Homo-oligomer: A and B are copies of this chain.
Amino acid sequence: MELHRFYSSLAIRTDRTRKIVVLLIDGLGGLSHEDYGYKTELEYANHPNLDRLASHGATGMLTPVLPGVTPGSGPAHIALFGLDPISFNIGRGVLEALGIGIVPDPADVLARGNFCTVDDTGVIIDRRAGRISTQTCEERLSLLRDIRVPECEIELHVVRDHRFVLRLKGSDLDGNIGNTDPGTVGAKPRAAAALDQRAEATAGFINAFVDQALHRLKGPSAANGLVLRGFSMLPDIPSFDELYGLRSAALAVYPMYKGLARIVGMDILNCNDLSDQLRTLDTYWNDYDYFFIHYKYTDSCGEDGEFLSKVRHIETLDSSIDSLLSLEPAVLAVTGDHSTPAALKSHSWHPVPLLLVSPTCRRDGSTAFTESVCARGGLGTLESKYLMGLLLAHALRLEKYGA
């Protein structure tokens, strides 16, 4: 039985008093940094509130997907939402759409599009089309919006600079299609190729669109070509409500995380920053059973290699969570979706610290919230997809399995 179906089969759907809060610190996990005494960002930061929570709760480690596997944001969140991230893969096209606030229908095929510059023979000479502005991107897309392809509808959405999203709507579409992007200059864009038979019709639609688009884009503009990649469909994912009878809300600033929350059926409570998130949490406290609070800046600093900025954002978060604690959630999980060590300037495969606070936690003697403490914590190291079961259990929302 699929994991989420198993948890679902045990779900108690009536309780509305024991609130679950997940405080998701994006890219939380770090790496020992030689410039900072071989400490990680979390070990270097001063976070007395999180440390106090650790001594009241239990700690552990989450492996986002599998040992060694560095996840993108899609799989990392999908796992935290209790779904197997390998079965429910979020492709680049889908994620790109989520990132601009579009939640695709599971029947749609999505792709990430890039304008590029091609020479007279169609060979790519600039993969970023001379770094055109977002406005130029919008103008070039507008030339393509009335292209018609039989049996499906095409939407084009600007992302930023030379990037856009292609959305195909229709019936019987299939996203198992290879990139048209050859991934390099000096080559022509490829035709969209079906990777299995069921995708052949869809590949035909895409090629029909691209042919017309290239015809219209021809000329002196730097954006006179386009490539597509990451063809994908949104997996058909049941909602938290359907699975667990959970009324759930996401408090996020960035569209992508709102989008990821939407695909498991969360309501989106728009927020501008952390203090706004905490205020909003207070406002809607009685309306939901599960709150997902997404804190982005730690990941961005990690990506930029800014160790001390990441430290500072951890400290900011720490000093701001009193109002959250005053609401007395029955279950509070503080964790990350993945590690983003400043030392690597990218997501990484390292497990992510987990702090769980609930009256039903078995205290494990942890007195700090750091990677090295969590690695020895009472919860052990578990795959992220199991967190959902722990949250439901501590909220007393899972009944006994078997007699």
Alpha-carbon distance A66/B361, docked complex (angstroms):
16
Instruction: Please tell me the number of chain A residues within 8 Å of chain B, measured between CB atoms.
Output: 73
Q: Which parts of A23-40 form the interface with B (CB within 8 Å)?
A: 29-32, 38, 40
Name the residue on B nearest A344 (C-beta): B360
Name the residue on B nearest A374 (C-beta): B378
Determine whether the beta carbon of B68 is less than 8 Å from that of A386: yes
Q: Which of B66, B91, B403 contacts A402 (CB 8 A)?
A: B91
Q: Which parts of A244-258 form the interface with B (CB within 8 Å)?
A: none
Alpha-carbon distance A7/B69, docked complex (angstroms):
8
Determine whether the beta carbon of A351 is less than 8 Å from that of B380: yes
Enumerate chain B residues within 8 angstroms of A90, measured Cβ to Cβ.
402-403
Q: Does A365 contact B (CB under 8 A)?
A: yes
Number of identical protomers: 2
Q: Does A330 contact B (CB under 8 A)?
A: no
Enumerate chain B residues within 8 angstroms of A364, measured Cβ to Cβ.
371-372, 375
Q: Does A225 contact B (CB under 8 A)?
A: no
Determine whether the beta carbon of A95 is less than 8 Å from that of B403: yes
Alpha-carbon distance A22/B113, docked complex (angstroms):
42
Q: Does A357 contact B (CB under 8 A)?
A: no
Contact with B along A92-134 (1 / 0, CB 8 A): 1011100000000000000000000000000000000000000
Q: Does A218 contact B (CB under 8 A)?
A: no
Stretch at the interface among A136-144, A306-314, A389-397: A389-397
Interface set of A (CB-CB < 8 Å, partner B): 1, 3, 6-7, 10, 29-32, 38, 40, 61, 65-76, 85-86, 89-92, 94-96, 230, 343-344, 346-351, 360-365, 371-372, 375-382, 386-394, 398-403
